Each structure stands twice: as structure tokens, then as C-alpha cells.
Amino acid sequence: MSRRLLLLASKTSYRIEDFLAAAAELGVEVLVGSDQCRKVAEIWKGDNLALDFFRPEEAAEEVVRAADTRPIDGIVPVGEPQAVVAALAARRLGIPFNPPEAALAARDKARMREALARADVPQPSFRVFPIDVKAPDVLALVHPPVVVKPLLLSGSRGVIRADDGPALDAAIQRLAALLTSRELFKHREREARLLLAESFVPGDEVAVEGLVVDGRLEVLAIFDKPDPLEGPYFEETIYVTPSRKPSGVRDAIARTTARAVAALGAVGGPVHAELRLAASGPVVIEVALRTIGGLCSRALRFETGASLEELVIRHAVGLPWERPAHERRASGVMMIPIPRAGTLKAARGVEAARGVEGIEDVVIAIDPGRVLVPLPEGNEYLGFIFARGSEPSQVEAALRAAHRELSFEIAPVVGRGGGRT
Ligand code: ADP
Ligand code: CA
């Protein structure tokens, strides 16, 4: 009998198509739970369920009701609000998954820091402050450079580095403006009144993609991020795997990530973590109980030909699962940052970028006419460039060469854009 997956995704997620494709390949039936089924219905004609992710208890109740007639074997949440609903529903349905406490701790950066602190996992020193705090009060407790960030957003939104008092006051005001303007915070008032201030940790950054199986972290890939992330804003650009770090460093990254996962109480499902390599060893910047965002997972291929989505779905619905090796070739993705605010008029050079040796695909994710909002307020990328090659250095060079072929015509505008995560 075929198995059924409940895929929980926001209507704006880039990720739905790749999960649906993987499920189809596996012959797994899918029930999509989303916050706006009409939008999802444009790409998914199948079974779906309308859920309000801002009301996790009620959403979980809906899932339990749906499972009466459509038994669910496993749940995959695409983002962090969905992970909370997934955990609540899984507990009630007796489906193995993370406990709600783990999902809640992973979603809220302050709770995550507190959970990691209790387990003595290396991380930046941090403090939580009210959103109207003044720089001297922060600097009295957090050693500069300081990074301020919101508790609940992702994709580096609202994450700002400040090296001195005036810069810190400006950063706090900018973050406060973002938080009070956000739809999300109508529903999350407590967190919207707070900010997290951390000491800036220098050092190279890596990302870990993993799957927790029976409480144990299986590392599926370590990505190097070869572009320096020094701030004041932290836009993601290039991810390349396998990591070029020495094996001892990679082992330390895996061990530290495993400790962080255990500290959160995660027992099953995907993990995406970011760490900085400080002089003292890996330091945890963030652990999220979901897969990598955007279209980046397309940069991952395993020896068996499996995609990340296939592995995650197999594990979720209880199909035979084994950690495959990464394919022999190196691969990478570049998230194309939004260079400035304005209306996108045209994207040029896409064919030339595709023609660069080693480039597999170039996806422009924003249609002309749309308003672009750069970081720290924005939450999307112009698109994604994918490359493969025999060596990580070739992949990185190909991504840079392809990016140089691209140019974006952006007309100035006053206004706000929508966004995808
Ligand atoms: P988000 O959930 O929005 O991705 P993160 O906490 O992961 O927020 O921060 C985004 C990026 O900002 C990180 O990938 C990192 O490059 C940078 N960053 C955040 N906090 C720190 C810190 N304490 N030290 C150094 N860099 C940081
Ligand atoms: Ca992050």
C-alpha cells in the first residue's frame, strides 16, 4: 500500500515543487498543508488542507482530523512555523517526529541560544533586550562588534552588525521598524518586542545539512561559504560542497552540530545549521529543524542519484533509509543577491551565464515588474546559479564567472515588495 506524506509549506515557499517531485518519484501520496491552498493549487492539483500556521494548536487539530480519512505516515515541514505544527500533530497522531519543545526552541533564536547554553555548546555570547533598548545598555553586557537580530525571522532578515554605539542605535532602530511592520508580528507580539544581541564571531562560515535519525545526526553535506560574511548585512551568496576544510575541522563541525541538535532535543528529521570556525573551534550560529532554504538543495546530489528531498521523505514516511555518500563531483549554488531597491526591469545575460563551463542552471526567481527589497529588510534572492565540477575550486570559479555575466536593470521605486522564503 502506498504511503502518505503530509507536506507542510507556506504558500510562498520555493520548496514545494521539489518535494512534490521527489514524492512522485517515490510513489508516495502527498497531502499538502498550506496557509493558502488557492495559491498552492496553481502547482498542485492534488489533495490539500488549509492551515493557519500562526495558530499551531488549531492547525495541528486540523491535521489530526484530516488523518481520520487520509492516514498520514509521516510529516515534512518546509519552514520553521510548519515545524511547530508538524511536531504538535505528530505527537497527537503517534508519528515519530521532534517533540514540540524542540521545534519551538529551534524557531525562536533566543530559546535556541538558551537551550545551547544549558548544554554548553559553543556559541556567541548573547543577551535578549526589549526592542527599544539603547546602545549603551547593550554594550554594557555584550562585547562589540555586536550583531542584533529578530527572534523569529530567517534568511538573515533584520540581522545587522554594529561596531560602535551610534551604529548600534541605528541598527536597533532599523530592526524595530522591520519588526513593527511585519504581518507575522500581529500574531507574535511577545517576540516582536524583543531582540537578540550577540557578539560577532569572526571566522569562516560553513553550513551543515543533516538528517536526525533516531536522535543521531547524520551529516549529509558540509558547505563552505567562500565569500566573507563580515556584515553589516549578511546576504548569502556561494555555497560549495564538499567542504575544503581539513578532515579534523569537518569532524569538529559534525560533532558540534550533533551536540547542538541534542541540546534542542531534536530526535528526527532534517537539520540545517550554520557555524563559524573560530580560533577555539566551531561556534554555532544557528540550527534550524528544516532543510536548506530556497532552491539550494538542488546543489546536493547523492551517489545513489537521490535528492535531499527524497532522503527526507523516505525517512519521514518510514521507507528504507540509508545515508548515501555525496556524489563524487563537487557542486555549489550561488544565491543571487538583490543589489539595490527598485523595480526589476530586466535580467540580462542569463544565456551567457548558462553557457559558462560547469554551470548547470541559472534560475531567475523574480519576474520583471516586481519590487525588489534588499537585505536587511528583504527576504528573497534574484535567483540561483547551480554548478558542478571535479573540484570545489572549479565550482566556485564557475559560479563567480556566471554571476559576472548577469546584469539586472533596476528602476528606482518607493514601496515594498512581497517575498518568498
Ligand atoms: P537567520 O535565521 O536569519 O539566517 P542567523 O542567526 O543565522 O539568522 O544570522 C544570519 C547570518 O548572519 C549568519 O549566517 C552569519 O553569517 C551572520 N551572523 C549572525 N550572528 C552572528 C554572530 N554572532 N557572529 C558572526 N556572524 C553572525
Ligand atoms: Ca541562518
Label residue 185 by pLDDT band (50, 70, 90): low
**CA dist 204 → 104, 141, 230, 253, 280 (Å):** 28, 25, 10, 12, 13
Give buried/exposed letters for 146-183 (b at 16+ CB in 10 A, else e): bbbbbbbbbbbbbbbbbeeeebbbebbebbbebbeebe
| Per-residue model confidence (pLDDT) at position 324 | 83
Ligand with the closest atom to the CA of 199: 1
What are the two backbone dihedrals, phi and then psi, of residue 189, each rounded to the nearest 5 degrees? -60, -40
Q: Which ligand 1 atom minimizes the distance to the CA of 109? A: 6
Instruction: Output the residue whose Cα is nearest ligand 1's atom 23.
Output: 200
182 pLDDT higher than 90: no
Q: Which three cell numbers stand for residue 250?
A: 569537518
* CA torsion angle 242 247 250 251 (round to 10): 140
pLDDT tens for 115-155 read 999 999 999 999 999 999 999 999 999 999 999 999 988 88
How is domain 4-105 classified at the architecture level of CATH?
A: 3-Layer(aba) Sandwich (3.40)
| Per-residue model confidence (pLDDT) at position 305 | 87
Instruction: Output the residue whose Cα is nearest ligand 1's atom 8.
Output: 156
Give buried/exposed letters for 247-264 (b at 16+ CB in 10 A, else e): eebbebbbebbbbbbbbb
| Fold of the domain spanning 330-421 | Aldehyde Oxidoreductase; domain 3 (3.90.1170)
* CA torsion angle 392 271 45 21 (round to 10): 40
| Half-sphere exposure of residue 266: CA atoms within 13 angstroms, side-chain side | 35
Average pLDDT over residues 259-281: 97
46 pLDDT higher than 90: no
Q: Which ligand 1 atom minimizes the distance to the CA of 157? A: 3
Q: Are 178 and 377 in contact (CB under 8 A)?
A: yes
Instruction: Output the residue whose Cα is nearest ligand 1's atom 9.
Output: 156
Instruction: Output the residue whose Cα is nearest ligand 1's atom 7.
Output: 286
All structural domains of the chain with their residue ranges: 4-105, 125-199, 330-421
CATH superfamily entry for domain 125-199? ATP-grasp fold, A domain (3.30.1490.20)
Query: Which residue among 225, 286, 335, 421 has the greatest number of ligand 1 atoms within 8 angstroms of its CB, and so is best to mutate?
Result: 286
Q: Which of residues 417 and 129 earns the better pLDDT score?
A: 129
Q: Is the whole model's pTM more than 0.85, yes or no? A: yes
Ligand 1 neighbours (beta carbon < 6 A) = 124, 147, 149, 153-157, 159, 198, 200-201, 205, 229, 234, 274, 276, 285-286
